[in-house]
Amino acid sequence: MTWPSSPEWLLELQARFGALLRTPLDRSTGSLRADTSAYEAALVEAAEASATVTSADRLAVYHRQYWFRLFTVLQGLYPLTARLAGYWRFNEFAAAHLRQRPPRGFDLDAVGEQFELSLAELPPASVALASGSAVGVAAQPLLEAARVDAAFHRVTRAPHAEPFHPSMADAARLLASGLRLSPAVALVQENWPLCELRAALADRHQHDTIRLPEPWPAPRCWLLGRRGSKVGLLALEPREAQLLDLLQRLPLEQALGHLEAAVPPAERAALPEKAQAWLARSVRLGVWAGFAEAREGAADSR
């Protein structure tokens, strides 16, 4: 069955209305408002007025609700970022993201995809949390919070994947292939204690603000995973996280070689036993989804 094509006048009207909705709300007065004076005259004329509401104001209702709905969704998908930045500033970041990467489908949750990239593309001064320090340093906590939120978002939305449990028959291929991370898992490195803060947000009131905690003395690594509908965190040793990262890009033998080269000589004697335990635990926890082809020339990024 095929549907008849829409008339040209309707397509044109829909395109104009869509362009109006995508126009960001005005922030100049300290509140979000629809600037009806900027509306296209032909579109205002096409809208029907009522006894109490003008045509432009009727369009403004849809205009505001479009943006308020998207802001609410993004605040829910990136709650840590929203509460650290404050909702007013977060909505400014959200508007920039939606201009750069406008919604393309019917799934509202998809509007959060790549928000952390949109934030990273903004001038560092605009995402700084505090004054009085170097702009780049001040921007880092908020960018890291967005990456943490994005990891939670991806893991929560990931489709179910059967965990990979390699057998003895897979041993030869394991030496020559990398491993593919399960979509229900993410490796997260943080400089501020943000992962546990993000995990605890479900117990906080929606509009609570959050103060940025003091940074860790050294970066920490977490395994973020989903089992059923539950999302949880597991602290990883730095070398363990490094091995899991390497295994996504290198065969086991090469990954172990890179890891051995990275540790101080005093740690190397204990490394094989530790690496075996880390690999066994990763399989037991369902970290892997299967084999992945190794990429030549990949280097350690940690």
pLDDT at 149: 97
Residues 109 and 183 in one domain: no
**Burial degree of 180 (CB within 10 A; 0-12, 13-18, 19+):** middle
Residues 174 and 151 in one domain: no
Encode pLDDT of 1-15 as tens digits: 566 788 888 888 888
Residues 238 and 251 in one domain: yes
Encode pLDDT of 214-232 as tens digits: 999 999 999 999 988 889 9
In the predicted structure, residue 294 carries a pLDDT above the cut 70: no
State how far the Cα of 286 lies from the Cα of 180, in Å rounded to an integer. Answer: 11
**Mean of pLDDT over the chain:** 89
Strand partners, 291: 179
Between 296 and 125, name the one with better pLDDT. Answer: 125
Number of structural domains (the chain) is 2
Query: What is the model's pTM?
Result: 0.87
Residues 67 and 128 in one domain: yes
State how far the Cα of 233 lies from the Cα of 225, in Å rounded to an integer. Answer: 7
Residues 143 and 169 in one domain: no
Between 18 and 6, name the one with better pLDDT. Answer: 18
Strand partners, 188: 222
Residues 151 and 250 in one domain: no
Average pLDDT over every residue of 27-41:
95
pLDDT at 1: 56
The enclosing H or E element of 163 equals none
Residues 244 and 169 in one domain: yes
Between 211 and 64, name the one with better pLDDT. Answer: 64
State how far the Cα of 91 lies from the Cα of 284, in Å rounded to an integer. Answer: 41
Encode pLDDT of 81-123 as tens digits: 999 999 999 999 999 999 999 888 888 889 999 999 999 999 9
The C-alpha torsion from 238 through 240 and 241 to 245, rounded to 10°, is 130
**Burial degree of 256 (CB within 10 A; 0-12, 13-18, 19+):** buried
- Dmax of the chain from CA atoms? 84
Query: DSSP strand E in the chain: where?
Result: 178-181, 185-190, 220-227, 230-236, 288-292
Enumerate long-range contacts of 59-64, CB under 8 Å, 24 or more apart: 59/17, 59/20, 59/34, 60/34, 60/36, 62/17, 62/21, 63/20, 63/21, 63/23, 63/25, 63/34, 64/25, 64/32, 64/33, 64/34
Residues 169 and 149 in one domain: no
CB 61 within 8 A of CB 25: no
Residues 13 and 67 in one domain: yes
Show which of 127, 157, 187 is a domain's final residue.
157
Encode pLDDT of 153-191 as tens digits: 999 999 988 899 888 888 888 888 889 999 999 999 999
- Kindly tell me the sign of the dihedral angle through the C-alpha atoms of 290, 225, 215, 142: positive
Tokens matching residue 284: 């037991």
Tell me which amino acid residue 291 is. F
Residues 109 and 237 in one domain: no
In the predicted structure, residue 132 carries a pLDDT above the cut 90: no
Average pLDDT over every residue of 190-194:
96
pLDDT bucket at 279, cuts 50 / 70 / 90: very high
Tokens matching residue 20: 């109006």
Tell me the residue range of the domain where 54 lies: 1-157
- Kindly tell me the sign of the dihedral angle through the C-alpha atoms of 136, 138, 144, 150: negative
Residues 231 and 124 in one domain: no
Residues 146 and 7 in one domain: yes
- With a pLDDT cut of 70, the percent of the chain lying above it is 91
Encode pLDDT of 233-257 as tens digits: 999 999 999 999 999 999 999 999 9
Pick from 130-139, 174-183, 193-202: least confident: 130-139
Show which of 109, 130, 157 is a domain's final residue.
157
